[in-house]
Amino acid sequence: MHIVITGAAGFLGQQLVERLLAEGELNGQTIRHLTLVDMAEPPMPATDGVEVTRLALDITEPGGLDAALAAGPDVIYHLAAVVSAAAETDLELGMRVNFDATRALLEGCHARGLAETRLVMASSVAAYGGELPEVLDDMTALQPQNSYGAQKAMSELLINDYSRRGLVDGRVLRLPTIIIRPGRPNAAASSFASSILREPLNGEEAVCPVSTDLAMFVMSPEKVIEALIHGAEVPGDALGPFRAFMLPGITVTVAEMLETLRQVAGDEAVARVRHEPDARISAIVSGWPSRFTTRRARELGFRGDGSLREIVDAFLNGKA
């Protein structure tokens, strides 16, 4: 089993590498080779027995993916992306990384006859938008109101078409907003959702740029990684006529996040959250839907978190 991961130096990529090496196998096959791709060379993970190739390359350059695809990987995790706020700032950069690189990956698989290769891409709740129903289902249109979502939606269509034509075995997981991310705030418009829990739990201040009424569809890093693993294990013919679907997140409001923070860390933790409305951030994230049936994902065996409290407890356990 040879697995390629793009965006391997990123948060999800690093957690996925760690989990894959801990499992030692994927889809019942021993992992023998990991190829980790990112703009800068990904860190060397701790392993014995698994060959690790680390590639610092620009997947948007012509031929940039050749080295990663030449060995004919069994599974490709395509996690490389320009995040939402950055894609909104720089249309050309977003198109190149979020769409053109996906297309180059598909073309590369096609050119090398990698029809059996399972390509797992991360898409996003940001692909939804427009005049949405109260509760979304698997047949709700993607009418994204941000360039990142548009680029992901286009990539979904392309992966589905290449899969339908038998050129690759693609599957696209639409990720809920991931909380609680480790590390520092980043350029993602949703960054605050982790920050308003993580920073106070670390004794630091955080800024909440949105109304506490805002509802979000969220999933813990642990469940997202489990979903990425499962996403490579689901048989292609079980996926039905479209290869992209929403993962089973849970719906929580910012007020519920702050209340859970209070339960686990008291009023003083909640007091570390400063409320500084940001119209730009609010405009982006308030357009993201927060309620889904996620029937297809559940039927395929994907599982979400039990509650927000479980997510916070898991974060605290990870810190301990």
Nearest Cα to Cα of residue 182 among 194, 169, 165: 194
Task: Please say if 77 is a catalytic residue.
Answer: no
SS3 170: strand
Choose, by CB under 8 A, the member of 133, 213, 267, 320 that binds its own copies.
133
Q: Using CB under 8 A, which residues numbered 160 to 199 contact its own copies?
A: 160-161, 164-165
Taking only Cα atoms into account, the Rg of the chain, rounded to an integer number of angstroms, comes to 19
Choose, by CB under 8 A, the member of 10, 108, 144, 248 that binds its own copies.
144
Q: 140, 298 in Cβ contact below 8 A?
A: no
Choose, by CB under 8 A, the member of 28, 44, 48, 131 that binds its own copies.
131
Residues with Cβ < 8 Å from 41, sequence gap 6 or more?
9, 54, 55, 56
Q: How far is the CB of 182 from its own copies (least distance, A)?
A: 31
- Sort 236 into a burial class: Cβ within 10 Å, 0-12 / 13-18 / 19+: middle
Q: Is 28 in the site for its own copies (CB under 8 A)?
A: no
Other beta carbons within 10 Å of 267: 8
Q: How far is the CB of 131 from its own copies (least distance, A)?
A: 6
Q: How far is the CB of 133 from its own copies (least distance, A)?
A: 7
Between helix 221-233 and helix 11-23 the angle, nearest 10°, is 60
Choose, by CB under 8 A, the member of 15, 47, 53, 140 that binds its own copies.
140
Token digits for 26?
A: 């994927």
Q: Is 62 in the site for its own copies (CB under 8 A)?
A: no
Given the complex with its own copies, which of 49 and 241 has the nearer CB atom? 241
Given the complex with its own copies, which of 132 and 270 has the nearer CB atom? 132
Given the complex with its own copies, which of 56 and 91 has the nearer CB atom? 91
Token digits for 279?
A: 């119209």
Cα of 153 vs its chain's centroid, Å: 14
Given the complex with its own copies, which of 27 and 143 has the nearer CB atom? 143
Given the complex with its own copies, which of 161 and 205 has the nearer CB atom? 161
Q: Is 65 in the site for its own copies (CB under 8 A)?
A: no
Q: How far is the CB of 242 from its own copies (least distance, A)?
A: 4
Residues with Cβ < 8 Å from 106, sequence gap 6 or more?
119, 158, 159, 162, 167, 168, 170
Catalytic (active-site) positions: 148
Residues that bind its own copies (CB under 8 A): 91, 129-133, 138-145, 147, 150, 153-154, 157-158, 160-161, 164-165, 240-242
